[in-house]
Structure 1
Amino acid sequence: MAAPDGAPQKTFLVFGGTGQTGQHFVRQALGQGHRVRALARNPDKFAFAHADLEVIRGSITEHPDLDALLGGVDFVVSMLGDAEAQRERRINDGFVRQLVPAMRRQGVSRFLYQAGGLSAPPDRALSPVLRLVRSTVARGYDGQHRDNEAVMRYLTEDAADIEWMVHRAGIGSDGPSKGVLRRSQKAISIATFQDCAAYNLRTVMDADAVHTCDVSSYRAPGPRGASAG
């Protein structure tokens, strides 16, 4: 079966599909003719039904059957985040360390992980401006950023055989689209949830994005562009 644009229909396994970016991602993937399987603690948060949407009740903290979830899947997308819980422990890091071996067992190679723009990639530091923001107005999310950083280190050091990519998103609001986000190492934009979702959907299918931990921007980075570190 093919999507409306003639591309082959793909199956996405989505974690965090009931979140602010996740809801848009699921709708967009279905709208492009793909199938979506989503793990959700509360499936009722999906305010819509679709023939190609399969919602399985569960949580990453409740030891789901990852091998069963991954059966027949082409792409895995994680848009998980719980700032309060991540103050206490690295929930996402622990989960990804279980997910990657299951992906290997099931022969699934492509994985997109959404982090935050204030989470530093393993190979470079944040810019002074972003370090200041993280230590002041965003200090309540430091546990979340440390969890994201642990995930990026694990993927970089121990999962070279997996076609992973990390979107260090600058997420701002659920307003209307402000344009198309482009991948960048330095220029970061505060984007709407739907634009981040559209970026994730494009990027997980982009082989050029494999093994990158980039931010995204509405503008092509220029010589005086904003620095993301």
Structure 2
Amino acid sequence: MRQKTFLVFGATGQTGQHFVALALKAGHKVRALARNPEKLTSTGADLRVHPGSIHTAADWAGLVPGADYVVAMLGDRKTQEKHNINTAFVRSLIPAMRAHGVKRLLYQAGGLTRVPGRRLSPVVWTIRKSVARGYEGQHRDNEAVLRYLMQDAGDIEWMVHRAGIGSNGPSRGVLQRSASKISIATFQDCAAYNYRTVLDPAAVHTYDMSKYQK
């Protein structure tokens, strides 16, 4: 594969750090927006780190032109308790992508995110309303993002990974797309899944979970 350019939002997060490292190792260029650029552990001539926030379009709009793939791995649980910050960001991002002919977007959501028009299984719903109730704001925000993509962004090659992120331990194997089953995975494995999936045309307009291959 020839060298591509990845625009990464959430690069200093635990999944984002692994994603940036993978893309650079594969020989690609990475543009990353970070509120605290010093937290990014990767370095190299192919990495461009731009300080800024997703809340301010002027901070990131100039990073969109020329990108081949956009990857968003974002989460701010405290703020998302009251505000759909990711939804507001994606609603600004999609028009910017259209304006510059950037087609492919991978958005990472949580595994407890409900697909609009569908119900979560009783087990998953129970988990969401009990042990994961502190993340309800994030679930609502992710669901609003997915609803927007499904209803208003059909021209964009989007894909949503409903990830079951668990720990920062070593790799436990290879994750594969699944419409009905989910594995609690490491950050490293979720990043590898995101990297493979954003390159996969068959994943366009999917909102799958991920599970480990047997």
TM range (shorter): over 0.9
Structure 1: gaps of 5 or more residues? 1-6, 221-229
Instruction: Please tell me whether the aligned partners of residues 67 and 106 of structure 1 are also in contact (alpha carbons under 8 angstroms).
Output: no
Residues 17, 26 of structure 1: 8 Å contact kept: yes
Percent identity between the two aligned chains: 65
Q: Any idea what SS the aligned residue of 1:64 has? A: helix
One-letter amino acid of the counterpart of residue 72, structure 1: G
What is the match of residue 102 of structure 1?
96
Q: Which amino acid aligns with 1:110?
A: R
Matches of 1:153 and 1:92 in 2, distance apart? Answer: 12
1:176 deviation in Å? 0.5
TM-score when normalising by structure 1: 0.91
- Superposed CA offset, 1:107-163 (max 9, x none): 000000000000111242111111000000100100000000000000000000000
Alpha carbon RMSD of aligned pairs, Å?
1.0
**Paired amino acid for 1:182:** Q
What residue is the counterpart of 1:226 in the other structure? none
Match of 1:43 among 26, 37, 41: 37
2:73 corresponding residue in structure 1? 79
**Maintained 8 Å contact 2:53/2:59:** no
Aligned to 1:218: 212
Q: 2:195 aligns with which of 182, 188, 201?
A: 201
Deviant stretches of 4+, over 6 Å: none
Give the C-alpha shift of residue 71 in structure 1: 1.5
Which residue pairs with 1:129 in the alignment?
A: 123
Contact 1:67–1:105 (CA under 8 A) maintained in structure 2:
no
CA contact (8 A) 1:66 1:102 kept: no
Gaps of 5+ in 2: none
Q: 1:65 and 1:85 mapped to 2: Cα distance?
A: 19
Normalised to the residue count of structure 2, the TM-score between the two structures is 0.98
Query: How many residues are treated as equivalent by the alignment?
Result: 214
2:49 corresponds to which of 39, 52, 55: 55
Does structure 2 conserve the Cα–Cα contact (< 8 Å) formed by 1:41 and 1:59? yes
Whether 1:191 and 2:147 are equivalent positions in the alignment is: no
Aligned equivalents of 2:60, 2:32: Cα separation in 1: 12
Task: Give, in angstroms, the shift of residue 49 of structure 1.
Answer: 1.7
Whole-Å Cα distance in 1 between the matches of residues 6 and 198 of structure 2?
A: 10
